[in-house]
Structure 1
């Protein structure tokens, strides 16, 4: 059942080993997990090493090497808990399911089905993401479902859909990267966030490629670049538009590609030529004019080229338009649909790609279908055995759900595999809202910051115990087998959904004996959709390692997208020509809030740290939050290296240790996003949203910084120190 096998090494005795898959970033590296004698003392220990696969080629970063540590942590939730007299106490599964059903049904009966909200996650398997959407819309009858991927991929997803007619993380294969003559990495720090991909880019450089990094910080990725543009946060759209102006003026556009495969260029050209001068663009972006021109010429003159964006570009209140400006560069030069070319949105979460394809997003149905499209609704209704009218319409985005909770329009919330009290902007409002709920139900591995507030906590299995598929950043669907039995009374997340649905009287539509049975229904639901998985089976995944989508029963994708046509009805891609938006969000800095706060990841940790803070090795590498600031800014503020600082915005404040470095702009500060409590950077993040995709502006919050005494909660920076009672 658990796909284990035994090896014998010279003089080492028998060793049990399993093949599994990293639960963290979107590369989804394969792992060989081995159990052998402990290095110290008696007993056995688990060790991980990279296993050969097409994405990471057998490489494994420090997170993957230690991922198993959280899965075997003593802090794992081992049984359900119910809040009684203000405390979470042990309960049986029967009690917990009855209590959850009672809460959900009571809200629906008293206030209507839309009084219940469902909040998912981008690390759930495709099977669970699919079932969560079906659970919300059929078992609960609510339109309010969204997930934490709203804060990860929504800007790139909406931009790709508008430009190409389809959203997929990479439009090229990872193996194509060394064929590119020029690569632009905009707002992505691959060396820390997806380090196992860096060898692809190193090989491209060895082949003569020019690497351009656009980032306000001089990161490890920037250190490997030929050209680094330290852009002012929030001005990426202006920078890309300025580069396009250079390309047009220098005649470095592909007129045949534009005429034959796109529409909208004339309007864009008129806007571009009439916009700011390059000198003005340089002043807005905080980058010298010569560097902008050099970047444009390197990309424009290259015969092949790629542009990759990530959260640095996308997590802005104009992130959708910023990505579209970079896509304009791709289309204007015809660098897509052929080897060594394309656009890539570097997916953050482990199943950030698949998680948004099959129905846990507010406006989508399985197969990347639109919930507003009558034909799409009718098809999914036929798969689910209901009338189209029984499927609710579109809901709202993740943060907008928090606002509805705060206004008591949503009265009960079901959270699965997410930690919204940390990941949302404007944390104070989120905490106040969750406290107003009639009921909060959380399914998780640990007592996260959100689970600590719950009325019912349901323990779920870890990545080692729960089989299912995930889709990596290049659109390759992968099967992750279960390799160990569940811990304690923990249950698979999809199994929990089935049982709650049964309690709500919807059991007939949720009879699935295995993850594979759910996937078989997902295949049928996705058939004919943009994200067509109908030709993928578990048997095929075991045989071939992974399969690119779209994959129908008749045809499989090669992984290289848009070789002949784009996904719009006319087969053409669409340029974007919005009014010039060079007046970046950073213009909102003021004498009261003179610095721009941007946030992001550090190598040892993942998302809100619920899992990685439970790994002793990873926690030892970075045990607390910090604030990077330039020495000149620190001198002006009277801040010394290593002391506590208070970071304040109009929304709130958080605390961190100062970390002085010349590798950041003097007008910018950076904080990682992996710590809770008083060190939660999102206590200061403003709630403004991108109007196109509802992405919060995580990268552009105006703040002030001052020295302070150690905050009261500093000794407990993360909920990891709160253990579930094991009774």
Structure 2
């Protein structure tokens, strides 16, 4: 039987899928206007994850140094008893939820712990810094429809490796190129961008704001400015004064881009025709990541490329903007109030100093020990409280739990979700029953709430789904029948140069901070980039045997000094891990690339040696500002 469902993984493409339940095959839905009949290999191989021999399919309780299987009744009774004991001090309960599971019903645990007044976390591991930057500029998070890139004469891609993170955007770019659109990519290199680029410009990681400022400097010197565009801004004199005081050569030196390449980027924006600007989801993972995004937006605005067909600046949109809330349907709990918040990317230290201490931790949708910086500190901190992990495999987080509850996975549970790239809402139908004794996350929360001495009572799933669809006036019946629905947003964002701020005007950045100096003891820069074959830490265990690989250029200062007959270690001020070194062409000479998500228990987790560091906006995580060195031991 072929059933239409959708991918719920943390990916902006949010594919609509057709699953053959007999043959266990997955393909993109040919009727979906964005998915267009194909999907990535992560989704195409998802039955391997469902059927993996390493999957946990029944509740486990820690007994001594190991785990023993128990019934759901025994596991839930234990968890409810521990949670009831902690409820007298709501701050002693901590809920940690990630984007490993998204959707209307995926909010169940968040709603549940809000009702308890539990502690939560703030800070972001991915895109909030760039989101905040765009909101400061435009007043609202929006961009042109993805299909509008087909109307661009030129595309300037600031570091998005579409070969690994968005194959449907890649397909649009490739189609545009066949129609004559040219693509210029700016990145540190070592990625898949040459595959879809006509020109590549190499840049020092994290310094895109200086290249953008150099382009703005050239616009000022040429006097090539559109007066109408500038009247739609609130603070043009401030940006002009800032850029006037900067020297073009100094800006090029700061980003380590030759002057001729910076001039070429200016020419791409200054020439006739529409220019679409696409930003990668790594620009914001630096100490001044927000500034990187804001200065790139400023180039798009000053060059007259905002609010036009074929132009625009693409970062992302909110995957939840077309979905509504159903928390008001839940009965019980405490009135909404101020909750204690702990900084996510330094959670180990936050737990160690928490007062009152955290006694109960619930973790779902998040391999948090693996994903945050200094994961070993968090692993140690989780030894004190009672920890429940809703997890399907024995990863770095599950190993620290006292109780592991097995969730139903994608294809085994129903939900509805949106995208942070396109404007379609997809139905994620249950196409196969949950394996073993795994359960839908929503049902887990509903049962736990009913077991508490002061119950928290959930409505049924369908009522929550229908309530969540009201915000965009989406028909549940239509969604059931078609598998997806489009929510109408303007094809061209900010078409009349009316922005989301109260006065309707655009805002430019007013400061340009210098890049922190290189540490002579750790002269290289570590980039933990996305993988092509798996998403974050959802990696088959058999793929993590042996020593992990890092990639460097032959021009890297460490290359000539390493003895290939000796072990090589990637070292930071937080620790060291053994690695295998390979070389790659066209990579910035001070850059070390390691693919993200490897598990610490196999010696593959780079986050164990990345120090907690906060970006300039929205408490993002500056993973890519981590300095390092390579050495023999």
TM-score under structure 2 normalisation? 0.92
Counterpart position of 1:576 = 509
Q: Secondary structure at the match of 2:194?
A: helix
Please say if 1:166 is aligned against 2:140. Answer: yes
Counterpart position of 1:208 = 180
Please say if 1:471 is aligned against 2:418. Answer: yes
Counterpart position of 1:613 = 540
> Does structure 2 retain, via aligned residues, the 8 Å contact 1:596–1:668?
yes
TM-fit CA distance, 1:178: 1.2
For 1:595 and 1:386, locate their aligned partners in 2 and report how far apart those are by CA, in whole Å. Answer: 53
CA deviation map 1:430-455 (0-9, x unaligned): 222222x3211110222221011100
When residues 464 and 188 of structure 1 are mapped into structure 2, their CA distance, relative to the original with a 3 A threshold, is same
> Does structure 2 retain, via aligned residues, the 8 Å contact 1:119–1:146?
no
Counterpart position of 1:538 = 476
When residues 264 and 160 of structure 1 are mapped into structure 2, their CA distance, relative to the original with a 3 A threshold, is same
TM-fit CA distance, 1:389: 5.6
Aligned length: 624
> Does structure 2 retain, via aligned residues, the 8 Å contact 1:118–1:146?
no
TM-fit CA distance, 1:545: 4.8
Counterpart position of 1:299 = 269
TM-fit CA distance, 1:117: 1.4
Counterpart position of 1:423 = 371
Counterpart position of 2:17 = 31
Counterpart position of 1:9 = none
TM-fit CA distance, 1:357: 8.9
For 1:640 and 1:663, locate their aligned partners in 2 and report how far apart those are by CA, in whole Å. Answer: 22
For 2:95 and 2:267, locate their aligned partners in 1 and report how far apart those are by CA, in whole Å. Answer: 48
For 1:305 and 1:393, locate their aligned partners in 2 and report how far apart those are by CA, in whole Å. Answer: 45
Counterpart position of 1:676 = 599
When residues 401 and 116 of structure 1 are mapped into structure 2, their CA distance, relative to the original with a 3 A threshold, is farther
- Which among 676, 701, 709 is matched to residue 626 of structure 2? 701
478-487 or 423-432: bigger deviation:
423-432
- Which among 281, 306, 315 is matched to residue 311 of structure 1? 281
For 1:458 and 1:107, locate their aligned partners in 2 and report how far apart those are by CA, in whole Å. Answer: 19
Q: Secondary structure at the match of 1:316?
A: coil
When residues 333 and 191 of structure 1 are mapped into structure 2, their CA distance, relative to the original with a 3 A threshold, is same
TM-fit CA distance, 1:146: 5.0
Q: In the TM superposition, what are the counterparts of 1:174-193 in structure 2 within 5 Å?
A: 174-193=146-165
Counterpart position of 2:113 = 136
For 2:334 and 2:239, locate their aligned partners in 1 and report how far apart those are by CA, in whole Å. Answer: 40
> Does structure 1 retain, via aligned residues, the 8 Å contact 2:61–2:70?
yes
Counterpart position of 2:236 = 265
Higher normalized contact order (CA 8 Å, seq sep 6+, divided by chain length)? 2
Q: Secondary structure at the match of 1:670?
A: strand
- Which among 208, 217, 221 is matched to residue 189 of structure 2? 217
TM-fit CA distance, 1:159: 1.3
Counterpart position of 1:78 = 57
TM-fit CA distance, 1:21: 2.4
For 1:23 and 1:30, locate their aligned partners in 2 and report how far apart those are by CA, in whole Å. Answer: 10
TM-fit CA distance, 1:27: 0.5
- Which among 75, 89, 95 is matched to residue 118 of structure 1? 95
RMSD (Å) for aligned C-alpha atoms = 2.7
Q: In the TM superposition, what are the counterparts of 1:503-652 in structure 2 within 5 Å?
A: 503-505=451-453, 507=455, 510-514=457-461, 516-523=462-469, 533-542=471-480, 545-548=483-486, 556-564=488-496, 565-578=498-511, 580-581=512-513, 583-585=514-516, 587-590=517-520, 592-609=521-538, 612-613=539-540, 619=543, 625-633=548-556, 634-640=558-564, 644-652=567-575
For 1:561 and 1:482, locate their aligned partners in 2 and report how far apart those are by CA, in whole Å. Answer: 35
For 2:567 and 2:144, locate their aligned partners in 1 and report how far apart those are by CA, in whole Å. Answer: 45
CA deviation map 1:605-639 (0-9, x unaligned): 21112xx416x8xx49x986310011233542224
For 2:484 and 2:546, locate their aligned partners in 1 and report how far apart those are by CA, in whole Å. Answer: 36
When residues 71 and 381 of structure 1 are mapped into structure 2, their CA distance, relative to the original with a 3 A threshold, is closer
CA deviation map 1:652-681 (0-9, x unaligned): 222221111223121111101121122211
When residues 394 and 574 of structure 1 are mapped into structure 2, their CA distance, relative to the original with a 3 A threshold, is farther
> Does structure 2 retain, via aligned residues, the 8 Å contact 1:144–1:401?
no
Q: Secondary structure at the match of 2:277?
A: strand
TM-fit CA distance, 1:492: 0.6
For 1:356 and 1:81, locate their aligned partners in 2 and report how far apart those are by CA, in whole Å. Answer: 37
279-288 or 59-68: bigger deviation:
59-68
Counterpart position of 1:39 = none
For 1:324 and 1:32, locate their aligned partners in 2 and report how far apart those are by CA, in whole Å. Answer: 39
> Does structure 1 retain, via aligned residues, the 8 Å contact 2:333–2:455?
no
Q: Secondary structure at the match of 2:267?
A: helix
Q: Secondary structure at the match of 1:653?
A: strand
For 1:542 and 1:167, locate their aligned partners in 2 and report how far apart those are by CA, in whole Å. Answer: 29
> Does structure 2 retain, via aligned residues, the 8 Å contact 1:131–1:518?
no
> Does structure 2 retain, via aligned residues, the 8 Å contact 1:117–1:401?
no
Q: Secondary structure at the match of 1:298?
A: helix
Q: Secondary structure at the match of 2:147?
A: helix
Please say if 1:460 is aligned against 2:425. Answer: no
- Which among 313, 319, 322 is matched to residue 354 of structure 1? 319
TM-fit CA distance, 1:458: 0.6
For 2:406 and 2:395, locate their aligned partners in 1 and report how far apart those are by CA, in whole Å. Answer: 12
When residues 382 and 432 of structure 1 are mapped into structure 2, their CA distance, relative to the original with a 3 A threshold, is closer
CA deviation map 1:237-257 (0-9, x unaligned): 222222222223223433212
Q: Secondary structure at the match of 1:604?
A: coil
> Does structure 2 retain, via aligned residues, the 8 Å contact 1:120–1:129?
no
- Which among 13, 25, 30 is matched to residue 47 of structure 1? 25
TM-fit CA distance, 1:293: 1.3
TM-fit CA distance, 1:396: 4.0
295-304 or 481-490: bigger deviation:
295-304
TM-score under structure 1 normalisation? 0.80
When residues 125 and 245 of structure 1 are mapped into structure 2, their CA distance, relative to the original with a 3 A threshold, is same
When residues 588 and 23 of structure 1 are mapped into structure 2, their CA distance, relative to the original with a 3 A threshold, is same
CA deviation map 1:172-207 (0-9, x unaligned): 222111111222222211112222321211122233
TM-fit CA distance, 1:304: 1.5
Q: Secondary structure at the match of 2:560?
A: helix
CA deviation map 1:128-179 (0-9, x unaligned): 34333221211x21241458xx2121111111222222224xx122211111
TM-fit CA distance, 1:689: 0.5
Give the unaligned 5+ runs of structure 2: none
> Does structure 2 retain, via aligned residues, the 8 Å contact 1:548–1:557?
no
When residues 602 and 390 of structure 1 are mapped into structure 2, their CA distance, relative to the original with a 3 A threshold, is closer
TM-fit CA distance, 1:336: 2.6
